[in-house]
Structure 1
Amino acid sequence: MSESLVQAIASNQPELNVEMLEDIEIEKLGEGNAATTKEKENEKSKKRKTGAPAERIALCKYIILDELPFKAAEKEGFKIFVAEICPMFQISSGYTSGGCKREFSVSPRLTDIVGKSIGELLVDVVTQWLLPRLFSCTLDNAAANDVAMRHVHSKLNARNILATNGQYLHQRCVSHIINLVVEGLEDIGMSVIRGREAVKWINASPSRSRSFKDIAKIAKVDTSKFLCMDVPTRWNLTYLMLEAALPYEPAMRLFQTMNPYFASDLKERNHRKMSIGVPTELDWIEVKRMCGFLEQFYNLTHLVFGSHYFTSHQVLMELCDMIGLITDLEEDEDDGFRNMVMRLRLKLGKYWLEETKLNPKMNKILYIAIMLDPDPRQKMKHVEYCLKLVYGSTWANELLE
């Protein structure tokens, strides 16, 4: 504030002295500084908002470098901390758009629209490629694909393009069906969960992994694979985890005695209000059984995944082996294992089995393909044997007719 202004105010208002005016000036300067600080904070907030990708990358580095689970960023304490230091930063959620699948499945109108669009695209492709004949299309098992195949059948059959009048047109992807069947294994058993948690504990830090490898050498574990983590919702990764862990059974027993934290930490972990603990000898027996069971499905998926060789003629044989295994396990003494196998059989029957009547979802080309195999053993007699093995003589003879 200038001296002339101070004198003018003092002359008009005698009760105000110079000291009071200086206080007013300081107060106004403080308000100005506060306004400036607020503007700077707003600018920083804008920068934070626009710099969100960089902050997300920094969050990823934090998770990776400290070997933390992804859910660490969704913990309540971490959210409070981030809200204090950077209110504008939005933490990405771990939730996915899985609900869209439910919306899609319950909306017949949307299914019809999408299915017809897929069908039109397939018809256009056949037309552009100048294909004189079309035998079959392999698609995932989905309601929209059912609509698409009906559309393709009506359009192309009228133009006499479909072989055998489209009788074998729609082939549902075998690998996709296997995944649908096996991914329903929610109650996979406490033994597998103990094995999973033990593997998770060992792989939680490099020092633990090194210590376990040293003990594995002492235990003379003969395997080239090391423990690998799985994803609980992916059955094929669970199989690979169990397969890799089985040879390390003696090493884990020795590791338990040499590292007391291994047993104590696992004992504190819970699953459905039950203490997990370390895998016991009975658990390893159960893990071995589960591994052998999942191996059948794993081998079949790898077989049909092939893209550089024919696969359709091998599906029936593998399917028969799988059903035979399920039939044997339905008489198992373990109630949990028996119930799990029975649920698998129901889901498998939805797509393939024809125990009492013809299954519209079962493409009969899988029966015919085996007879086209150049191997002289894979002919009609073998198809007859497979069908009788699965369905019994009476119904198998009707299917053969």
Structure 2
Amino acid sequence: MYYAKERDHVKEELAKAPSLICLSSDNWNLEHTNDEYICITAHWIDKDWKLQKRIIRFRALFPPYNGLNIVDELVLCLSQWGIDKKIFSITLNNASYNDVMVSCLKNHFRANQAILCDGAFFQVRCCAHILNLIVKVGLELADDVVGKIQNGIKYIKKSGIRRKRFYDVASKSFHLNVTKKLLQDVCVRWNSTYLMLESSLYYKDVLDYWGQWDKDYQIFSLSNEEWRNVAILCKFLKVFYDVTCVFSGSNYPTANLYFRGFWKVHKVLVDTVKGPYSFFNSNG
């Protein structure tokens, strides 16, 4: 009953929205079962010029997980909410099935005379996803160093005794603030790799000390040159991290921010290519 009440309230809001409605859609795969889920969010500006957003669909998809199947799900969703004639654009990542889905969706809207400018501005590429692809390719050039840090941190954090001693050494011998933790990254989130590298630089002296007395850790120890490369890589990634944080904001519009963000990214890429750091160059 509560759901039905809230659903009707949101439906009324969507019907009264003075602006057209923008959609964002993303699919999520549950790794262990290979189940696929879709999440569709509606974004619009209300009469008080405030950004509104509501998740209007979150449900499991049935195979096959392709563009034709997804467009059927999307069209049904829009019809149920009564907004199939109020859509301006849809933001998606760069998965190949989305190109098929958008083509079918455009044809559907054209048939119903509900698409502006013949769909020229209908599909919006997800800027955060584009950044993600760029950084993943770049990180492959530093696989060896990043891998050492990943495995070294995993080794320290795997044992509660080792973890406690690590922070004791950091606090008592190196006088570091141990409320800032040594972070381990998550393979599907590159920004967590940046945060891991940043935290390892903070604990650099402790990690070097750890490698001197723990023989099992020595295979993960970094040379001075490798630490220098980590510092360079961290500075390089910070630009991407800051821009990703801006693009990922959920309480303000983000499409108006992409040009400035990508200009910063373009500049750092050009400066890096012209710079002296050979490990950034895949041919170096």
TM-score, normalisation: structure 2? 0.68
The structure 1 residue matched to 2:110, chosen from 143, 153, 157, is 157
Which structure 1 segments of 5+ residues have no match?
Answer: 1-94, 99-109, 268-275, 343-401
Instruction: Give CA-to-partner distance per residue, 1:175-232, whole Å, 9 cap, x none.
Output: 2222233223333243333333332232231111222212112211246311122245
Superposition pairs of residues 1-400 of structure 1, within 5 angstroms: 114-131=66-83, 132-184=85-137, 185-217=139-171, 218-222=173-177, 224-232=179-187, 234-257=189-212, 260-261=213-214, 264-267=215-218, 276-339=219-282
Q: Give the equivalent residue in structure 1 for 2:8.
A: none
Q: Structure 2 CA distance, aligned partners of 1:204 and 1:265?
A: 13
Q: Structure 2 CA distance, aligned partners of 1:254 and 1:328?
A: 34
- Count residues in correspondence: 224
Please state how far the C-alpha of 1:305 moved relative to its aligned partner.
2.2
Q: Structure 2 CA distance, aligned partners of 1:178 and 1:289?
A: 19
Q: Give the equivalent residue in structure 2 for 1:29.
A: none
Q: Structure 2 CA distance, aligned partners of 1:286 and 1:234?
A: 21
Residues 163 and 320 (structure 1), Cα distance of their counterparts in 2 relative to 1, 3 Å cut: same
Amino acid at match of 1:151: C
Q: Which has the higher strand share?
A: 2
Q: Give the equivalent residue in structure 2 for 1:19.
A: none
Matched residue SS, 1:265:
coil
Amino acid at match of 2:118: N
Q: 1:197·1:266 contact (CA, 8 Å) conserved in 2? A: no
Q: Which has the higher helix share?
A: 1
Matched residue SS, 1:171:
strand
Matched residue SS, 1:309:
coil
Please state how far the C-alpha of 1:233 moved relative to its aligned partner.
5.9
Matched residue SS, 1:188:
helix
**Structure with greater contact order relative to length (CA < 8 Å, sep ≥ 6):** 2
Q: Structure 2 CA distance, aligned partners of 1:308 and 1:332?
A: 37
RMSD across aligned C-alpha pairs, in angstroms? 2.9
Residues 243 and 300 (structure 1), Cα distance of their counterparts in 2 relative to 1, 3 Å cut: same
Residues 223 and 289 (structure 1), Cα distance of their counterparts in 2 relative to 1, 3 Å cut: farther
TM-score, normalisation: structure 1? 0.50
Q: Which has the larger radius of gyration?
A: 1
Residues 232 and 166 (structure 1), Cα distance of their counterparts in 2 relative to 1, 3 Å cut: closer
